[in-house]
Structure 1
Amino acid sequence: MGLFDAIGSSASGMQAERVRMDVVSENLANAETTKAANGQPYRRKEVVFQEAGDQGTTFASILAGVSGSAPTHGVKVAGIVEDSSPLKRIYDPGHPDADKNGYVTMPNVNTVTEMTDLISSSRSYEANVTAMQTAKTMFTKTLDLLR
């Protein structure tokens, strides 16, 4: 794995975590949205990550130095999917979206879970920044040795 591969892998991780933070922010912003654009309560969204690069190459084969194995190129966002967990129902007969029994169907967003995901994503982003800075420092030290 070369220097630019390390920087590219870190950059892809940073980009994927940025998308994850955006989705978590959207979930938090819509935690109380009882009617989305489709007329239904908002459904929590999740980001699905996938290994970027050659899908036939495994991490173990790269570590083992198997000939012909191409290095991976980090991570990419495979998609954004809706969480299929059930929506919450609360009793609030005064709410404008309450049904005839006084129940309101609320989004399946748990703010504690979303904040935990946001912190996790932020830490992963920071780890990728640190890995990128370390690769840059190693490259700079190598150039200094060659002078």
Structure 2
Amino acid sequence: MSLMKIFDTAGSGMSAESLRLNTVASNLANADSVSNSPNTAYKAKELMFAPVLQQQSGATAQDANANVGVRMAGVTESQQPVESHYEPGNPMADANGFVYGSNVNPIDELVNMISASRSYQNNVEVMNTTKQLMIKTINLGS
């Protein structure tokens, strides 16, 4: 793998982790939201990623000329049940006096945020190390 392709791979990872961080932020922002129906209550968003293998002309999957990365394959909603609370005085309560909260688990989201942040940082380190290697290689010729 050439050093320039490392930038593509790490950049792809950084983009994926950035999307993951934005999704976590959205989930955390809606963690305390309520609704008058379990169908309209906020459901935590979960991203699905897929590997990307872009082959260049004549390259095989095992060839060093293939570019590897990651892409977002889709967004799903968590299938965890939403919580219901009996609050007849709440303006969002249904006819039976229940309000329905989101199914966001803040602890899971914080763990996901830390994981995404660390993965992003690791990709930044890969890019910085590659840049340093390129600079040292150029300096060998001087």
Please state which band the TM-score falls in when normalised by the shorter chain.
0.7 to 0.9
Whether contact under 8 Å (2:44, 2:78) holds in the other structure is yes
Residues in 2 aligned to 1:78 and 1:12: alpha-carbon distance in whole angstroms: 13
Q: Shift of residue 91 of structure 1?
A: 2.6
Residues in 1 aligned to 2:86 and 2:109: alpha-carbon distance in whole angstroms: 24
Which string of whole-angstrom CA distances, capped at 9 and with x for unpartnered residues, describes residues 19-68 of structure 1?
111111111111122249xx81111101111111249xxxxx97xxx4x5
- How well do the aligned residues superpose, as a CA RMSD in angstroms? 2.3
Whether contact under 8 Å (2:35, 2:100) holds in the other structure is no
Runs of 4+ displaced beyond 6 Å: none
Which residue of structure 1 lines up, in the alignment, with residue 132 of structure 2? 137
Whether contact under 8 Å (1:44, 1:107) holds in the other structure is yes
**Equivalent residue letter for 1:5:** K
- The percent identity for this pair of structures is 38
Residues in 2 aligned to 1:117 and 1:11: alpha-carbon distance in whole angstroms: 20
Which residue of structure 2 lines up, in the alignment, with residue 118 of structure 1? 113
Residues in 2 aligned to 1:18 and 1:43: alpha-carbon distance in whole angstroms: 20
1:18 aligns with 2:18: yes
Unaligned runs of 5+ in 1: 56-60
Residues in 1 aligned to 2:28 and 2:103: alpha-carbon distance in whole angstroms: 11
Residues in 2 aligned to 1:146 and 1:47: alpha-carbon distance in whole angstroms: 45
1:81 aligns with 2:79: no
More strand by share: 2
Residues in 1 aligned to 2:121 and 2:83: alpha-carbon distance in whole angstroms: 34
Residues in 2 aligned to 1:113 and 1:90: alpha-carbon distance in whole angstroms: 22
Which residue of structure 1 lines up, in the alignment, with residue 45 of structure 2? 45
Q: Shift of residue 88 of structure 1?
A: 1.3
**Equivalent residue letter for 2:2:** G
TM-score normalised by L of structure 1: 0.82
1:127 aligns with 2:111: no
